[in-house]
Amino acid sequence: MPVITRFAPSPTGRLHVGNIRTALHNWMLARKAGGRFLLRIDDTDAERSREDYVDAIRADLGWLGLEPDGEERQSHRLEIYERAFVALREAGRVYPCYETQQELELKRKIQLGRGVPPIYDRAALALNDAERAAKEAEGIAPHWRFKLDHGEPIMWDDGIRGAQKFDPAQLSDPVIRRADGSWLYMLPSAIDDLDMGVTDVLRGEDHVSNTAVQIQMFTALIAAHYGAQQIPRFAHEALLVGREGKLSKRLGALGCDAFREQGIEPQALIALLARLGTSLPVEPIADRAVLIESFDLGSFGRAPAKFDDAELARINTTLVHQMDFATVVHRLPQGMDETGWHAIRPNLSHVAEAGEWWRLVTGPIDQPEFSDEDRAYLDEAARTLAWGDDPWHALTAALKDATGRKGKQLFLPLRQALTGMDHGPDMGELLPLIGEDRARARLAEAAGK
């Protein structure tokens, strides 16, 4: 059976770094196995879901290069959920409940006060037909719960966490449908995974207890509605934390739009998140085939994965320094050719900075104030400048012989006069880009001529 994974965001906001990591790992799991990666838009919450967020999710995945092999929207699948729900109801695996939120909250407080887990007491199962009819005659519409089977423990071999075991009697029967008929997450997700042939569910460890419940949903759905079918394999990865070692709200605000504004390249984000939380070294690897080949659930650890902005910046800078001209030509300032890119590239942390550095070539520049001695030196430089294959080294060699200057005294005034800066690209590469006429004019201006 081919591997099929899915990424299932709710369009109630922008993707954040945790979502991106989940999408990436599902994409890598599918790509390594030669399988399919699906996008499922979980938009059953009509009040909070927005179409612009759907568009943003697609755009962000496109920017990251995580193109799905298929897309589904839960809002288009309501009839499928209804049919499965009816089958579960007829099988006795879902039941109506009539408690209000206030009544349920009171029950939870009483249980907590007694020192017992706040598990739903299944009071609704004790109602007879007449009592249910009376509730509905009062205008109380039921919400619906999935009835867990308490007969045996829920077990699975987690791809990251290993053997897992839950006592269903210690879990609440989950609410699957609201009184207004709308769906909560749990049941539609299980229906979709079966219906779409999902073989592997890779998600955050905050879903572990959900998985225990959904395994019983899968079993019930297969028995009541779907027939012979495999339950997906599950793996739960550790959640992201910040550098300070605790969960950070800021991580929830870091999305593709924020990374783009910071000048982060998508391949830098991919290189970091691909191995974050694993035993493999995080390295500035631009070749996704290398990352995919090394992807292994067995390398994932149980400790929280630490997201570090400084590490992302370091990877981004290294990858920018590796980028060839053809990759970035459409993002460079007008007039910058391949020679210019190679001269400027080692000084960049982000591609967008190329425009600032290119102004050293095109001007204008702001020169510092020079001493009388340096002005005389720069006047000689303007007269000495001779153009050839390597004008910078020819100029500095001639000035060294003529003036006896060396080191900083030889080079710094020239760099300041030619670029207005104390540091920057290699002058041997930069001076030919500035050109003879412009270079001579800058030297002369610095000399006060």
Burial of 155 (0-12, 13-18, 19+ CB in 10 A): exposed
What is the tens place of the pLDDT at every residue in 419-434?
Answer: 999 999 999 999 999 9
pLDDT value at position 443? 97
- Which residue ranges make up the annotated binding site for ATP? 249
- The answer to whether 4 and 46 are in contact (CB under 8 A) is no
The per-residue pLDDT for 247 is 58
| pLDDT band at residue 25 under the 50/70/90 scheme | very high
Q: What is the mean pLDDT of residues 344-373?
A: 95
User: Distance between CA 82 and CA 94 in Å, rounded?
Assistant: 12
- Chain mean position to CA 376: 56
- Is the bond preceding 364 in cis, omega lying within 30 degrees of 0? yes
Q: According to the model, what pLDDT value does residue 245 have?
A: 65
Tokens of 360: 């050293």
247 neighbors 239 (Cβ within 8 angstroms): yes
pLDDT computed for residue 447 by the predictor: 96
Q: What is the mean pLDDT of the chain?
A: 95
Rounded mean pLDDT of 13-42?
96
Taking only Cα atoms into account, the Rg of the chain, rounded to an integer number of angstroms, comes to 32
H-type alpha helices, 181-328: 186-195, 208-221, 256-261, 266-275, 288-294, 309-322, 325-328
What are the pLDDT digits (tens) for 231-275? 999 999 999 988 776 656 677 678 899 999 999 999 999 999 999
Residue 228 confidence (pLDDT):
73
**15 CB-near residues (< 8 Å, 6+ apart):** 9, 23, 56, 57, 60, 61, 255, 256
**pLDDT on residue 249:** 64
Looking at residue 254, its pLDDT comes to 83
Burial (0-12, 13-18, 19+ Cβ within 10 Å), 287: exposed
Query: How confident is the model over 86-96, as a mean pLDDT?
Result: 97
How many Å separate Cα 231 from the centre of its chain?
28
Location of structure tokens 């999902």:
198
State yes or no: pLDDT of 229 exceeds 90.
no
Q: What is the pLDDT of residues 317-345, one digit of tens each?
A: 999 999 999 999 999 999 999 999 999 99
Per the annotation, binding residues are: 249
d(CA 447, CA 369): 10
Does the domain made of 363-446 have the CATH classification 1.10.10.350? yes
pLDDT, position 225: 87
Give dist(CA 210, CA 215) in Å, integer: 9
Reply yes or no on whether the pLDDT at 50 is more than 70.
yes
Burial 94-122 (b: 16+ CB within 10 A, else e): bbbbbbeeeebeebeeeeeeeeeeeebee
> What burial class does residue 281 get, using C-beta atoms within 10 Å of its C-beta: 0-12 exposed, 13-18 middle, 19+ buried?
exposed
The domains of the chain are located at 325-361, 363-446
Query: Which tokens go with 11?
Result: 């369009």
Q: Is the dihedral of CA 311, 313, 319, 321 positive or negative?
A: negative
Q: What is the mean pLDDT of residues 263-290?
A: 97
How far, in Å, are 192, 203, 273 from residue 198 at the CA level? Answer: 8, 13, 23
- pLDDT, tens digit, 9 for 90 and up, residues 101-146: 999 999 999 999 999 889 999 999 999 999 999 999 999 999 999 9
Q: Which DSSP string do the residues of 300-338 spell out, in sequence order?
A: B-SSPEEP-HHHHHHHHHHHHHH--HHHHGGGSPTT--H
Q: What is the DSSP letter of 226?
A: I
Mean pLDDT, to the nearest integer, of 197-221? 97
CA distance 144 to 185: 13
Residue 236 DSSP symbol? E
Rounded to whole angstroms, the Cα distance separating 40 from 412 reads: 59
pLDDT of residue 246: 62
Q: What is each CA distance from 341 to 110, 284, 400, 429, in whole angstroms?
A: 69, 20, 30, 10
| Percentage, residues of the chain above pLDDT 70 | 99
Q: How many CB atoms lie within 10 A of CB 356?
A: 12
Helices vs strands, H then E, count in the chain: 19, 12
CB 246 within 8 A of CB 11: no
Location of structure tokens 């990759």: 327
Q: Provide the pLDDT for residue 253.
A: 74
Percent of the chain with pLDDT over 90: 92
The pLDDT tens digits for 246-255 are 656 677 678 8
Q: Per the structure block, which two tokens stand in for 320?
A: 């920018």
The structure tokens listed for 380 are: 């000689």
Nearest residue to 38 (alpha-carbon basis) of 252, 261, 209, 198: 198
CA distance 16 to 431: 44
Instruction: Order the strands of the 175-177 sheet from edge to edge.
Output: 94-97, 143-146, 175-177
What is the predicted pLDDT for the residue at 302? 93
Structure tokens at 284: 């500035």
Under DSSP, the state recorded for 73 is: E
